[in-house]
Amino acid sequence: MRLLHTSDWHLGRGFHRVSLLDAQRAFLAHLVDTVDRHRVDAVLVAGDIYDRAVPSLAAVELFDDVLHRLADLGVPAVLTSGNHDSARRLGVAAGLIGRSGIHLRTDPAGCGTPVVLADDYGDVACYGLPYLEPSLARGVLGAEGRGHTAVLSAAMDRVRADLAERPGGTRSVVLAHAFVTGGEASDSERDITVGGVASVPAGVFAGVDYAALGHLHGCQTVNERVRYSGSPLAYSFSEARHRKTMWLVDLDEHGAVHAERVPCPVPRPLARLRGTLDELLEKPEFERHEDAWVEATLTDTARPREPMARLAARFPHVLSLVFDPDRTEEGTRGSYGDRLRARTDQQIAEDFVAHVRPGRDADPGERRLLRDAFEATRPERVAEPERAPEGVGR
């Protein structure tokens, strides 16, 4: 059986101030084309369909369109809710939609009830586990502990119990949205540590032939049977080195896994550049990034004037600006208190002027104004309290 494993679409999400709706539309068209061209038997989407619990109308329209196109191909799909989705909203009309071969799995109570697919070698039981928030899913699943490992283990106990009742040779696939130990995170995943330690061991998936994971945005292999597809698009500059793909998974008659990466369309490359402003504007080695979305980290010791506008002249798609000045040994030695202890108020104020106005120290007139200001706040003498007349207040 040939499966296409994807996740973390985050429909409706942008990249800094840039809309990604067109890029998401292009990805979904690519997904449908991949299903048709590679004769995929089923599509697995492991959570985070949307980027927010109440998605925009444009995001809902994208989702509606791809479901219709998959249904028109006659290819079943199993989709689960992730931690960004509203499970209740995503699961509306799931029973009705399921008649078209589009199976939405959003209720923790249904973890042990699979979508049963079939090929020439028999059945493949496909279990869709929605994102399991420990505080909400613990009671439903009868989990003994309070964390992510406890609820996912309880869900997998239901999966294994159901499998044990099925004919011998039944192959099995699980979709899950979780942070599995050994996975590499990026900056664009929402933290799921609330409710217990975030990571769960890969061993919780023991007993199934393939675990199609979602949540982490980098495509990665935890082991041969446990994989993340990653997000199809980059959603932070921390993903600049990612190669965005889906997994094309072939499950043979014995449940052995052969997996191949299918590249996703790249709307625009990402580049994280570092150097002084002059270096970024002049060095020929940065020429290849001129059409990329750019995050520029400036190392100038003094903040340049209008850096974003000047960078945009060479990098028209610059989106993020970070300041990380190179500090001299003199400037970094000792604590903040140590560096101020031997300096007068006047000297500290002049240093501040030089820091916030790059390349220009306070001039003589400004130093005089600062000196006058400090003098005005410093009394000439400390007046002694008046002594009360004899007999008064006694």
Listed residues 283, 304, 326: the one ending a domain:
326
The DSSP code sequence of 257-311 is: EEEEEEEPP-SS-EEEEEE-HHHHHH-GGGGGGTTSEEEEEE--SSPPSSHHHHH
CATH classification of the domain holding 33: 3.60.21.10
Residues 115 and 15 in one domain: yes
Count other C-beta atoms under 10 Å from residue 59's C-beta: 21
Residues 308 and 170 in one domain: no
Residues 158 and 277 in one domain: no
- In the chain, the amino acid numbered 291 is D
Q: What gap in Å lies between CA 166 and CA 136, rounded to an integer?
A: 29
Residues 31 and 152 in one domain: yes
| Pairing mode of beta strands 171-177, 210-214 | parallel
In the three-class reduction of DSSP (H, G, I as helix; E, B as strand; rest coil), residue 213 is classed as: strand
Residues 321 and 232 in one domain: no
pLDDT at 330: 46
Handedness of CA 42, 48, 54, 55 (dihedral sign): negative
pLDDT at 385: 53
Listed residues 246, 263, 280: the one ending a domain:
263
- Indicate the pTM of the whole model: 0.81
Residues 248 and 362 in one domain: no
**Would you say residue 276 lies in a domain?**
yes
Place of tokens 């964390």: 147
**Would you say residue 385 lies in a domain?**
no
pLDDT at 173: 98
Residues 136 and 53 in one domain: yes
Domain holding 366, by residue range, is 336-379
Residue 87 and residue 130 in contact, taking contact as beta carbons nearer than 8 Å = yes
Angle at 134 between CA 130 and CA 139, to 5 degrees: 95
pLDDT at 359: 57
Helices 148-164 + 134-141 axis angle, to 10: 30
Residues 251 and 302 in one domain: no
pLDDT at 185: 77
**Would you say residue 152 lies in a domain?**
yes
Q: What gap in Å lies between CA 211 and CA 183, rounded to an integer?
A: 14
pLDDT at 183: 80
| Pairing mode of beta strands 245-251, 220-223 | unpaired
Q: What gap in Å lies between CA 222 and CA 174, rounded to an integer?
A: 15
Q: What gap in Å lies between CA 317 and CA 314, rounded to an integer?
A: 9
pLDDT at 93: 92
**How many domains is the chain partitioned into structurally?**
3
Count other C-beta atoms under 10 Å from residue 277's C-beta: 19
**Would you say residue 346 lies in a domain?**
yes
Count other C-beta atoms under 10 Å from residue 6's C-beta: 26
| Pairing mode of beta strands 2-6, 245-251 | antiparallel
Residues 276 and 188 in one domain: no
**Would you say residue 281 lies in a domain?**
yes
- Which stretches of the chain score pLDDT less than 50? 194-197, 329-332, 381-384, 392-394
Q: Pseudo-torsion of CA 386, 387, 388, 390, nearest 10°?
A: -160
Among 278, 330, 331, 327, smallest CA distance to 304 is for 278
